[in-house]
Amino acid sequence: MTSRVVELSSLLVSKPGYRDGRPCLRGTGITVHNVAATYSMGYTVEQLCAENPDLEPELFHAAIAYYLANRARIDAEIEEDIAYENALAARFPQGIAPATRSDA
């Protein structure tokens, strides 16, 4: 039986200006950072696939492998994201709403 070889680099894609250039699962906007955060909360690949039934397990396996190989950097970036979100929440406790016209 012959099986095809899949290059891990074909499963993750990053584009400058899209999702801050962070690697995403091929064909999606799901970043490795998103997968890493859920993986760190104890989610398994099977659970991720159940929540994303149109995606192949190897996409999540590739994201987790990338995360584990770059854990310190990705964890630091996730912490920066959380700090930024917390700062925005403190600055705008009522949330950010569209501007309303005073002459309407």
Mean pLDDT of the region 5-28: 92
pLDDT in tens, 33-91: 999 999 999 999 999 999 999 999 999 999 999 999 999 999 999 999 999 999 999 99
Q: Which residue has the tokens 């569209």?
A: 98
User: In terms of Cα–Cα distance, which of 1, 19, 4, 20 is closest to 58?
Assistant: 4
Checking if the pLDDT of 104 tops 60, the result is: no
Please state, in angstroms and as integers, the Cα–Cα distance from residue 64 to each residue in 9, 14, 92, following that order: 13, 15, 34
Whole-number pLDDT of residue 6: 85
